[in-house]
Amino acid sequence: MPVNFLTSVFFEGPQVIPYWEQIKEYGPTVIPIGVSLAALKYYFRGSTNTWERDMHGKVFIVTGGTSGLGQQIIYELGTRGAQLILLTRRTNDAWLAEYIEDMRDRCNNPLIFAEECDLASLYSVRKFATSWLDNTPPRRLDGVICCAAECIPRGKPRQITTDGVERQIGVNYLGHYQLLTLIAPSLRVQPPDRDVRVVIATCSSQNLGDVDEQDLLWDKKRYPSTQPWKVYGTSKLLLGLFAREFQSQLMTYERKDLTPCNVRVNLVNPGLLRSPSMRRTLSMGTVWGLILYLLMYPIWWLCLKSLNQGAQSFYFALFAPMLMKIDGGVSIQECKINTKVRKEYSDEELCKRVFEQTEKLIKELETRSAIERKKNTTKEEQEKEGKKKRDLAVKPTTTDELQSKLDVLRSSIGKELPLFPDESALKASGVTKSNVKKRGGSKKA
């Protein structure tokens, strides 16, 4: 018993402690090292969110919710009763179906869903936004959490999206730009008593990025395969500039009920995490790099945050009430507002120019992609569409389909007929009223 043991130590001395001689010999060296490691671990874990908020019934759209930091946030909000819509590349995936079922069971929350929205395709994002807005009355939306990010390891060649844009820029910046600007009407029409929060994940690598207004999407410059973090940092920096301008536009929007703007857009830097993207970066996407990562895992465990520790600043951005009392567009790190940010964030004119230029670039990209999709329409699809137009059993929905069906009907008779033939036209085609009557009588008989 602990009491008996402590009594023995008190009356008989410390020599009754097991291995007391070894403790005396190695203790002065081991104990300070252990205390130092514990202090380092406590320091690197970061701050903890202390705010609470009732999330039951609130609706959030989440990108990047199937792995890493997004998965941790999904679990926390799902446990609190929030309704979550996960945006994924595809929905016809057995793994995704199993993941959603597993998350529902873990959170004891059936209101977790997945919808198709590939951030690497502007067309896919537009389709999702259109389906989301096509609802009367407007769907409830309490916030958007943007965690999705593409990080290309060092040494890998340049990769592009379906629209031909460098993949890190396309997914991290253009995809979220397209998503948030298209569903902005849904954000603006929420009731004035509902605090709507848009939380965008950023990264310290934005300090390595740069804004080139002549080549915003990194199309003309040579891709730095040995330093891909420059492109990644640029995508996060552009996303930060967009967040500032997007918040500014929301604040200047005049609601019909003349109430103040109830939408806040904030950036969150979770710090350095032991996430899948960090593992891929440190291992450089190679087997040997992964082995080295595993050998050095004690160092990563000590110096990098866990996913739950990294998510604390997101919880602060979603729960803290004081954030609705300021204008938004702020950067949050370690559960507090970070005032030491890039000077570009304070340049309102730069933010506006980048926003408008991106809007023009997206319009050009969508037009070009639409033309490519039209060209790449397969022969089978064309034949299927033609068969549908010629099928007389299918009701025509357009004038083109009606004309096609009339042409088929005329060709089956063998002679040209007007749309509304008179008796002479029927005789010329070999069809008479008596024949029609006979056919009608035979059918009756």
Residues taking part in catalysis: 236
Single-letter amino acid, residue 102: D
Q: Report the SS3 class of residue 276.
A: helix
- Alpha-carbon span 154 to 152, nearest angstrom: 7
Residue with structure tokens 């730069």?
Answer: 350
Q: Which two tokens stand for residue 84?
A: 């979550």
Single-letter amino acid, residue 151: C
Q: Say if CB 313 and CB 330 are below 8 A apart.
A: no
Q: Which two tokens stand for residue 240?
A: 């930060």
For 371-440, the DSSP string reads HHHHHT--HHHHHHHHHHHH-TTSPP-SHHHHHHHHHHHHHHHTS---SS--HHHHHHTT--HHHHHHHH
What secondary structure letter does DSSP report for 257?
Answer: T
Of the candidates 140, 262, 264, 132, the residue with the CA atom closest to the CA atom of residue 198: 264
Q: Which two tokens stand for residue 347?
A: 């340049």
Asked, as a colleague might, if the bond just before 137 is cis with ω within 30 of 0, I would say yes
Strands 83-88, 112-116: pairing is: parallel
Q: Report the SS3 class of residue 224.
A: coil
What secondary structure letter does DSSP report for 306?
Answer: -
